[in-house]
Amino acid sequence: MTDVTGAPADVLHTLFHSDQGGHEQVVLCQDRASGLKAVIAIHSTALGPALGGTRFYPYANEAEALADALNLARGMSYKNAMAGLDHGGGKAVIIGDPERIKTEELLLAYGRFVASLGGRYVTACDVGTYVADMDVVARECRWTTGRSPENGGAGDSSVLTAFGVYQGMRASAQHLWGDPSLRGRRVGIAGVGKVGHHLVEHLMAEGAEVFVTDVREEAVRRVTDQHPSVTAVADTDALIRVEGLDIYAPCALGGALNDYSVPVLTARVVCGAANNQLAHPGVEKDLADRGILYAPDYVVNAGGVIQVADELHGFDFDRCKAKAAKIYDTTLAIFARAKDDGIPPAAAADRIAEQRMAEARAARGW
């Protein structure tokens, strides 16, 4: 485990002056033999061992990687708290292009670093890592989820992630229109990879009118080949301007809600699977000023983390689906709290999550 001795000044500045502060532990990992450079960030263990995925990404520099790890770890604390899990928040990032440097040797080295934490951090898949990778990591570390069924895991978590987003959409419809049904509603999905594709299935089954876009033409083609009535649009810019759109679902990269997109967005509801949808804190006020209801991303996309957490107790799909179905009630409770407190839904979700973590810390005497 590498300490911070000799770390670049920009890394140290990020670590000690980040606005995503309050982290319990940050581990800088390096294995010269395999080329591994990674950061493991533990934000909170108040509710239990930190749980969060491993992102494998070609960051521009170490400071950028550290900032991402800190931000993502904090987000996982809130997500796990709102999902009702007995887990705190953590996240890891591996620095580099997975297409170029990902090897079995590197993943095994990473697994040893996670194992050295003795269960304080439980890892899983994220951007750039997959079920097969977790199977390799698990050979060195028993605190690994997101593994294949053949290796004692639950496999792909995108099914329940999409199901949770669907429940968030139903709750949004109930709150805004007094009916959870999505039949006849116009829904635009930006990003139809694994999660987005499953979300299309739920919406089509209910009779929604679906519009999709994706930077990968083959992803769009898979959807339209299966569902010819789905409308493909050129890009996200066109999608957010679709006339009469009821719900916009960002299901790709973060920052989808920004100073450019919000003023032209036609939808009345935003509810999607992407993480960190708000480009900056002021965006949600802009949404509210335009009368657009925002379902907090880390609440509605929690189906995946519910699934991987269940692996630690012997995975049962029906049990997980029942937990993910509660995202409907949780989302409604957030909207009610937001109305009562006169604050945006994301702020209401944060307050509820912070209250749960504070109560856990108090119970532990922290």
Provide the residue-wise pLDDT of the chain in tens; the chain has 366 residues.
Answer: 444 444 565 655 556 565 556 899 999 999 999 999 999 999 999 999 999 999 999 999 999 999 999 999 999 999 999 999 999 999 999 999 999 999 999 999 999 999 999 999 999 998 899 999 999 999 999 999 999 999 999 988 899 999 999 999 999 999 999 999 999 999 999 999 989 999 999 999 999 999 999 999 999 999 999 999 999 999 999 999 999 999 999 999 789 999 999 999 999 999 999 988 999 989 999 999 999 999 999 999 999 999 999 999 999 999 999 999 999 999 999 999 999 999 999 999 999 999 999 999 999 888
Return the CATH number of the domain spanning residue range 9-73+90-151.
Answer: 3.40.50.10860
Residue position matching structure tokens 């007995």: 86
* Cα dihedral value 14, 308, 102, 162, nearest 10: -90
- Active-site hit among 37, 79, 91, 323: 91
Pair of tokens at residue 154? 């639950």
CA angle 124, 129, 131 (to 5 degrees): 65
37 is catalytic: no
pLDDT at residue 4, rounded to an integer: 46
Residue 335, exposed/middle/buried by CB under 10 A (0-12, 13-18, 19+)? buried
Q: Which residues of 249-274 are buried (b: 16+ CB within 10 A; e: fewer)?
A: bbbbebebbeeebbeebbbbbbbbbb
**What are phi and psi for residue 301, nearest 5 degrees?**
-100, 20
Q: Residues comprising the binding site for NAD(+)?
A: 191-196
pTM: 0.87
Could you tell me where in the chain the CATH 3.40.50.10860 domains are found?
A: 9-73+90-151
Average pLDDT, the chain: 94
Instruction: Give the C-alpha separation, 213 to 200, whole Å.
Output: 12
Are 67 and 14 in contact by the 8 Å Cβ rule? The answer is: yes
**Angle 345-364/327-341 helices, nearest 10 degrees?**
100
Could you tell me where in the chain the CATH 3.40.50.720 domains are found?
A: 158-304+313-354
CATH number 3.40.50.720 is the correct assignment for the domain at 158-304+313-354: yes
